[in-house]
Chain A
């Protein structure tokens, strides 16, 4: 039988490998927050299998589960059969969009990026009081969240780079557009080209970003290949800072939240810890860490589309912070900071910030 949808053409064998063991239920953040197996990775694979078998068809009825996946990849990491669930979900979302079944939040996101340069449809980009240099060794790429929501984190990162005398510049950056592919649309070529041109114009040898998602997009997406072909290296600021002697110290009990985009998706676990351990000897791991880290609930467009469940996922993560009595939670993703911050209860007295923000604040204290 001829496959009706692209997701089947691409992933039929992988979907059939799902043996329905249900082990993903132990780790799926959406299931954890809702205890609803229809939203678990297995539930999603079962639906797609029934579509392939012709028992049901893609329709609006499937929006709630197919568009409610943070693409954190915990399921894949724990899957005995190795089913690449996030990739399958992204492919199915494209088919959903093609038939006109899409969550309105994602449709809106695509529309916004046709008219604006960022996902928040903001017109005024923060310049952080810094002149854009015509040429520099590094480009600092802040990402939409870093530019328009977690500005303090970006300001702090830039101040740390200044302090370390790094030759960098900001550019008139636009959204990396990676998220569009995650929610059923195609990367916006105009945005991609703008970023490529502006980065290359500086002659920079590397892009440093505060956003692990932007790092993934620039590093892995085919559309950004021209950047890489010119030898431009893309790295996350955690990778950049790991070898510096930052000369700061804290006695506070510090823990680290692995962002899915940096950890499970890029395999970067140790660089942030290397930096944190140097400045915070009183470092403790959360109950779930490294590849087992719980998702903050923000990814895959879930924060925008299913805010309540997204916050519930973040709360589960923050409960783990409470359990170990940490005073500071560090992470390497503005989006995680944003969602965890929104979920924090008044009684939870710990600080949530990026590692660079924390380094910056310690530097200020030292000065």
Chain B
């Protein structure tokens, strides 16, 4: 319950129509796409930077937690208000403020939906490459907050590589501008990069200046199957050595393939691993040339088969398998955890084998797919959340999975973020000195710990 006086102050700032503590809103703001849940005391729909600033001043004065939120599609509990307080919904700040193609610049508000940016850029032949799979609904603020990535990570990087500057409201309500609107900028500390992936723990992003790219117009797609994970892994590593950088290089593991076959009529070969590659460019000669090299690598590594898509239609059919993975797996059990551990590309086969061993050991279903081209895999642990035994198994399997990734010189998370899900594992990846520095930075930005508290293990002493 929110204190009546604070409620009135909030209404004063955002207006009656933009304040809510209705049950239906409080329940919906208790969740994101993860398994976490925590109910806020109230929520505000902010419309401009000034309102964000005033809300923060009030929250800071009264020491009330504020959890910023976009579309709530996160998979780690980033926008779940772990310490209750105010949920700040930024989806109504959804405008494109500037589009300057010659400057390769788009300035947007945090509530803008990724797909709407894509739609605005398309007529100019440009795009914003990170391409998260939740793109038709996720917001740019969330994209920045998690440093979102997607299938094009290997060639095009992640959100971080495109953020030029930000407007950020700090915990005390002051408004800070970072970076700028130029492609190059080495002026002062890189506060922009510090904010990207900070999960709303350092400030509330209210404006984003993005670098945009010209969009290649031609692609070539191919698929290869492998009966041995080692072969698939070697193929991936060799592609990376070949001098060709595919725009997409995805992998589907056996469990995922079986699940797809059981639930669709795609009839995929039931092999250990399936690789899907795409090359992009501006002429067919160019993309075919690249793909020939990739296919050559595939053929050298004992594939079951290598298939080049002869047409756009055939390419779309090949992608259907990858695109259906999430939906198919989501239907198998009532609950799942979708992880995003990432390892150096050469260690992808070891990670895949390790995941299989973990699934066997704990007698739990783990289906894996992901971005082989950047070492970022998505083991999806399927379980029944109403069965305490299965929950225990899921937790034990997650635990081992994180340890495995770290032992392979990897990271807990390649694109989903730490949030609540992985907060307990921060010490596994970060040494005491670096955690201490993170906490020092957090205190400098947010001495009262009101910004998205409970996340990233920053509150721990």
Closest to B30 in A: A46
Chain B residue contacts of A20, Cβ below 8 A: 31-34
Give the contacting residue for B24; candidates A19, A22, A62; CB below 8 A.
A62
Q: How far does the alpha carbon of A114 sit from the alpha carbon of B71 in the complex, in Å?
A: 43
Closest to B29 in A: A37
CB distance from B95 to the nearest CB of A (A): 13
Q: How far does the alpha carbon of A65 sit from the alpha carbon of B23 in the complex, in Å?
A: 10
CB distance B137 to A38 under 8 Å?
no
Residues 45 to 73 of chain A near chain B (Cβ within 8 Å): 46-47, 50, 56, 61-62, 64-65
Q: How far does the alpha carbon of A173 sit from the alpha carbon of B115 in the complex, in Å?
A: 47
CB distance B28 to A37 under 8 Å?
yes
Q: How far does the alpha carbon of A150 sit from the alpha carbon of B334 in the complex, in Å?
A: 46
CB distance A13 to B331 under 8 Å?
no
CB distance A17 to B32 under 8 Å?
no
Map CB proximity to A onto B138-151 as digits: 1 under 8 Å, 0 otherwise: 00000000000000
Q: How large is the interface on B (under 10, 10 to 19, 20 to 34, 35 or more residues)?
A: 20 to 34
CB distance A17 to B331 under 8 Å?
yes
Q: How far does the alpha carbon of A38 sit from the alpha carbon of B89 in the complex, in Å?
A: 12
CB distance A35 to B32 under 8 Å?
no
Q: How far does the alpha carbon of A39 sit from the alpha carbon of B27 in the complex, in Å?
A: 11
Chain B residue contacts of A46, Cβ below 8 A: 27-28, 30-31
Map CB proximity to A onto B246-286 as digits: 1 under 8 Å, 0 otherwise: 00000000000000000000000000000000000000000
Q: Is A223 an interface residue (CB 8 A)?
A: no
Q: Is B336 an interface residue (CB 8 A)?
A: yes
CB distance from A59 to the nearest CB of B (A): 8
CB distance A43 to B45 under 8 Å?
no
Map CB proximity to A onto B86-104 as digits: 1 under 8 Å, 0 otherwise: 0001011000000000000
Closest to B73 in A: A22
CB distance B136 to A17 under 8 Å?
no
**With A17-B330, A56-B23, A80-B327 known to touch, is A22 a contact of B28 (CB < 8 Å)?**
no
**With A21-B73, A21-B134 known to touch, is A65 a contact of B32 (CB < 8 Å)?**
no
Q: Looking at B23, B30, B33, B92, which has the most chain A CB atoms within 10 Å of its CB?
A: B23
Q: How far does the alpha carbon of A61 sit from the alpha carbon of B21 in the complex, in Å?
A: 11
Q: Is A281 an interface residue (CB 8 A)?
A: no
Question: 8 interchain pairs (CB within 8 A)?
Answer: A16-B334, A17-B330, A21-B326, A22-B71, A22-B72, A23-B136, A38-B28, A81-B331
Chain A residues near B (Cβ < 8 Å): 13, 16-17, 19-23, 25-26, 35-40, 42-43, 46-47, 50, 56, 61-62, 64-65, 80-82
Chain B residues near A (Cβ < 8 Å): 20, 22-25, 27-34, 45, 71-73, 89, 91-92, 113, 115, 134, 136-137, 326-327, 330-331, 334-336
Known: A23-B134, A25-B71, A47-B24. 6 other contacts (CB 8 A): A19-B330, A26-B136, A26-B137, A38-B28, A40-B28, A46-B30
